[in-house]
Amino acid sequence: MAQTQKEQRGIHPLAAYNFRVTVDGVAMRFAKVSGLQREHKTVTYRHGLTFAEGEQIYKFFVDAYVSVTFEQGTVIGQSFLHAWVESSKKSSMEVLMCDALGVPVIAWSIAKALPVKLTAPTFNAAANELCVDSLEIKAAGITIKYLS
């Protein structure tokens, strides 16, 4: 039996290329985002009855900073990233995963994003490649929200 479009949306994975990024509510263009993760600190507790009951693992909700990398093509006259790296301003960010129609369905929200490194493109006269800047941020307060 043929599946409806709504049923197909529920079982097929999203395409990774269809995403949007905003910094302080302003849309930014990035070609690649990597390292985005939600992580909790844990500690393993061993007590006197561990041999019988097993170890216990406790999870802590600490806003630990993780490294997230954003890549974008270099465009003449657009210096927002350079200015952001030079400032010490923490910003809020959001990475929206979109469905095939471009409608956001999952939001990765970053409460505190601090740019720490901007890497220039690789210059190679023998290659015919695009110039791509790489921005590394330290991110904390990452939450995931399902929008539909």
In angstroms, rounded to a whole number, what is the distance separating the alpha carbons of residues 45 and 42? 10
Q: Return the pLDDT at 2.
A: 75
**Which of 12-21, 52-61, 79-88, 111-120 has maximum average pLDDT?**
111-120
Give the predicted TM-score (pTM) of the model: 0.79
Would you say 116 and 110 are in contact if contact means Cβ atoms under 8 Å apart? no
Residue located via tokens 């994003």:
113
Q: Return the pLDDT at 1.
A: 62
79-96: per-residue pLDDT in tens?
A: 888 888 888 889 999 999
What CATH number should be reported for the domain holding residue 44?
Answer: 2.30.110.20
Mean pLDDT of 110-127: 91
Q: How many distinct structural domains can be found in the chain?
A: 1
What is the domain extent for residue 119?
5-146
**Which of 5-19, 30-44, 109-123 has maximum average pLDDT?**
109-123
* CA 66 to chain CA centroid, nearest Å: 10
